[in-house]
Structure 1
Amino acid sequence: MYASRQPAYAPTPYMPRSALSATINPDEEAKLSTTAAERNLYDSLAEIYSIVVTLDALEKAYLKDSIAEADYTETCSRLLKQYKSNLTDEAVAKAFGDLESFKREWDMECPRATERLRVGIPATVEQGPTHKSNQNGESMDATLVMNATEDFINVLDALKLGMTEKDVLHPYLVDVIQGVNKVTDQDFESKGKIVQWLITLNQMRASERLNEDQARDFLFDMEQAYHGFKGTLKKN
């Protein structure tokens, strides 16, 4: 169903509510905008609409095992990046509002895309790939273990240094979940907290930062997760 090429999707023209309720002269050419700024705004909103629809179809394909994990991960990551990139424009973000209001305005039914956008990372990153190198008693790759350990240390050091901005912590945390999933598929203490904090950070603007209580809780949860991860290594 999905090939390795980038999926094509045709942006759906976005029309403001005022335009929909206006009286239309059938002899007059319809115009979506009168300025370049308006055209860019509507193009971006149409792009977001198409991304959400495409992402929902992609999630369905993944659940049906109709797409390879590697292709799913690449495509999902690209769509999530495009979605976020469109919303970095203040005018687009203001007109968009939030995903729930956007869905209501355009009568969109896309529960799977909604959940994936809430989490902010592909399912293969959130849950880990289905094939693990250590499932058959093979020893863990020392390089992967070292990389995952460094990922934990990076996020812990950032928090201890007072670096609580979303745009600093989110990439570190993505590295952590990717790193541990490459090492083991076993659950361990506070592993779920990693994903929970990813979701929390994903809901924040890039310039926002955790407050003091959140930073303390985050540090505690990551220390617990790190100890849990190290305990998993001893069992193997």
Structure 2
Amino acid sequence: MEVKLWNDKREREMCDSFADLYAIIKTTEKLEKAYVRDLVSTSDYESECLKLIAQFKTLSSSLRDAVPSIERFVEAYRMDCPAALNRLLVSGVPATVEHRTSSSASAASSAAAVAECVQHFITAMDSLKLNMVAVDQVHPLLADLSASLAKLGTGILPLEFEGKAKVREWITRLSKMGAADELTEQQARQLHFDLESSYNAFMVALPNVRS
């Protein structure tokens, strides 16, 4: 006997969206395991992971009313995907971005990486000043900043550089919000303050490396 899962077009689209969300989470879990087992190249992992994260944020935002909690969605469908939940909800960036180091980088590439960090710091702060406070506007800027900071490795910045932790904390916070959500005035001011203080600490740390 055929079981009908929907009664109209809207219900069918909702079922399709649920299936897409399920597939994204399961695919992310498999990708994380493949990366850990060295079954996929770093470049392929990073590009695919970035795409899955973007798809997840877009879809989870559109399903915000129907799926207010991704954790409950995972429990309801009995999905065992701890790595995917960490990547999609907690980290918000690929593992390569979190753990990338460049201790063997040349002076030229190090200088370029420093310049890239400065650019991303300034871009993020200027965007907040221009009232670009929607999650889908702020999150990519912080992800870019986090990635550029990770490129520097411990050869330039201290291992426990506070700026890295602050940026990761904001990425985690934004990852739990919908793409169309906006930071409150207080949140935007706090983020700008954290970015500015991190930028100042970043600039202070650089002379110690060159000396």
Question: Is the structural similarity TM-score above 0.5?
Answer: yes
Structure 2 equivalent of residue 173 of structure 1: 142
Give the Å deviation of 1:112.
1.0
Q: 1:101 to 1:69 in 2, by over 3 A?
A: same
Match of 1:200 among 173, 179, 191: 173
Structure 1 segments of 4+ aligned residues over 6 angstroms from their partners? none
Match of 2:65 among 70, 94, 104: 94
Match of 2:75 among 85, 104, 113: 104
Q: Distance in 2 between matches of 1:204 and 1:97?
A: 10
Structure 2 equivalent of residue 138 of structure 1: 106
Q: 1:152 to 1:102 in 2, by over 3 A?
A: same
In structure 1, give the amino acid aligned to 2:165: G
Larger mean CA deviation between 161-170 and 216-225 belongs to 161-170
Deviations 1:167-217 (A, max 9, x none): 222121112112222334443232210111111112222332222332232
Matched, 1:75 2:48: yes
> Considering only CA atoms, is the larger Rg found in Structure 1 or Structure 2?
1
Give the Å deviation of 1:230.
2.2
Q: Distance in 2 between matches of 1:58 and 1:190?
A: 29
In structure 2, give the amino acid aligned to 1:163: M
In structure 2, give the amino acid aligned to 1:124: T
Q: Distance in 1 between matches of 2:32 and 2:205?
A: 30
Q: TM-score normalized by structure 2?
A: 0.84
Greater helix content: 2
Give the Å deviation of 1:54.
1.6
Q: 1:43 to 1:136 in 2, by over 3 A?
A: closer
Deviations 1:14-68 (A, max 9, x none): xxxxxxxxxxxxxx42222232322221111112112111211221222333322
Q: Distance in 2 between matches of 1:162 and 1:79?
A: 28
Q: 1:137 to 1:143 in 2, by over 3 A?
A: closer
Q: TM-score normalized by structure 1?
A: 0.76
5+ long unaligned stretches in structure 1: 1-27
Q: 1:216 to 1:86 in 2, by over 3 A?
A: closer
Q: Distance in 1 between matches of 2:184 and 2:64?
A: 24
In structure 1, give the amino acid aligned to 2:93: I
Q: Distance in 2 between matches of 1:200 and 1:54?
A: 23
Q: Give the 3-state SS of the residue equivalent to 2:162 in structure 1.
A: coil
Q: Distance in 2 between matches of 1:31 and 1:71?
A: 39
Matched, 1:124 2:92: no
Structure 2 equivalent of residue 5 of structure 1: none
Matched positions, count: 203
Q: Distance in 2 between matches of 1:86 and 1:205?
A: 9
Q: Where do residues 146-161 of structure 1 align in structure 2 (5 Å cutoff)?
A: 146-161=115-130
Deviations 1:74-130 (A, max 9, x none): 1111212222232343xx4333332111112111221111111112221212x1424
Structure 2 equivalent of residue 36 of structure 1: 9
Q: Which has the higher contact order (CA 8 A, sep 6+)?
A: 2
Q: Distance in 2 between matches of 1:88 and 1:191?
A: 26
Larger mean CA deviation between 150-159 and 32-41 belongs to 32-41
In structure 1, give the amino acid aligned to 2:96: T
CA contact (8 A) 2:57 2:178 kept: no
In structure 2, give the amino acid aligned to 1:222: L
Structure 2 equivalent of residue 164 of structure 1: 133
Q: Where do residues 46-65 of structure 1 align in structure 2 (5 Å cutoff)?
A: 46-65=19-38
